[in-house]
């Protein structure tokens, strides 16, 4: 690896549920203040539907700035995330500013995705990326700017940062599925409509789902929606 290459991200992983080499890779990107051990917990449920998939949940590159455990993809404190909850009119300018943080964190995640594809000898159509909260922000930042589209991008409870720059920077348009709790107290539900509009303006196919009564989390119905999105690109129970 060149000396100036971005560092690769490590984290927990799970092999395919069946014997043999993986035929798909599902990368799980955690939220602010968590780490890869949080989202790797989704692997057993998804493996029932996609038994030939390997799962990887990289840790974000930075220690969390507001708690003595967990990781962060980029700082939130400098962006005053409370302002989007105090006044919905602040949502868009806050997300535009957060794009700077997502952009700075992108190279290591991008390099990690490349490394996984090389390691397993698979093409981008065998890779899916699932994010939660800040992990969704990172998935949208990185995956839409890769040389070729991945099979699917699925985002829970997240947001599209830097939407203004996206039309001029997008290089890949995988199908995107967004799922968001309608009672989310952390990332406002209005972020779902903002993301959908920004992605569609950049020519991305988007399937959006609000989850009534759900806060900032992933419920069984949301996970089922994610599995159905993967099944559309990997039919026959993920066996291709």
Percent of the chain having pLDDT more than 70? 92
* Between 3 and 122, the higher pLDDT residue: 122
Q: Is residue 120 part of a domain?
A: yes
Q: Is 110 a catalytic residue?
A: no
pLDDT, tens only, 55-102: 999 999 999 988 888 999 998 776 665 656 656 677 888 888 888 889
Domain with 61 in it: what CATH number? 3.40.50.1820
Residue 205 lies in a domain: yes
Determine, yes or no, domain membership for 215.
Answer: yes
Of 133, 180, 208, 219, catalytic: 133
- Choose, from 35, 38, 110, 184, the residue flagged as catalytic: 184
In a domain, 163, yes or no: yes
In a domain, 239, yes or no: no
Q: Which domain holds residue 194?
A: 13-234
Residue 1 lies in a domain: no
Q: Confirm whether 115 is a catalytic residue.
A: no
157 tagged catalytic: no
Backbone angles phi, psi at 35, to 5 degrees: -155, -175
Q: Please tell me the total count of domains within the chain.
A: 1
Does residue 125 fall inside a structural domain? yes
61 neighbors 105 (Cβ within 8 angstroms): yes
Residue 207 confidence (pLDDT): 98
Q: Quick check: helix, strand or coil at residue 29?
A: strand
Q: Which of 13, 125, 207, 216 is catalytic?
A: 216
pLDDT score for 205 = 96
Query: In this predicted model, what pLDDT tens digit does every residue of 110-134 receive, in sequence order?
Result: 999 999 999 999 999 999 999 999 9
CA 67, 70, 75 angle in degrees (round to 5)? Answer: 70
Residue 212 within a domain? yes
Token pair for residue 212? Answer: 């009534």
């Amino acid at each position: 690896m060149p000396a100036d290459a971005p560092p690769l991200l490590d984290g927990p992983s799970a092999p395919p549920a069946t014997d043999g080499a993986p035929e798909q890779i599902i990368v799980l990107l955690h939220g602010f203040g968590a780490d890869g051990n949080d989202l790797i917990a989704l692997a057993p449920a998804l493996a029932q539907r996609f038994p030939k998939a390997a799962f990887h949940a990289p840790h974000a590159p930075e220690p969390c700035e507001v708690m003595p455990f967990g990781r962060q993809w980029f700082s939130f404190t400098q962006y005053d995330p409370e302002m989007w909850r105090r006044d919905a009119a602040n949502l868009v300018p806050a997300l535009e500013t957060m794009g700077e943080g997502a952009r700075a964190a992108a190279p290591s995640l991008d390099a990690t995705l490349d490394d996984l594809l090389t390691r397993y000898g698979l093409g981008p159509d065998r890779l899916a990326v699932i994010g939660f909260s800040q992990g969704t922000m990172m998935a949208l930042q990185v995956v839409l700017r890769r040389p070729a589209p991945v099979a699917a991008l699925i985002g829970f409870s997240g947001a599209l940062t830097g939407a203004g720059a996206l039309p001029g920077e997008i290089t890949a348009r995988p199908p995107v599925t967004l799922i968001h709790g309608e009672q989310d107290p952390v990332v406002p539900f209005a972020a779902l409509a903002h993301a959908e509009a920004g992605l569609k303006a950049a020519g991305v196919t988007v399937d959006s789902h609000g989850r009534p009564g759900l806060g900032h989390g992933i419920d069984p119905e949301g996970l089922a929606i994610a599995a159905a999105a993967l099944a559309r690109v990997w039919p026959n129970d993920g066996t291709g």
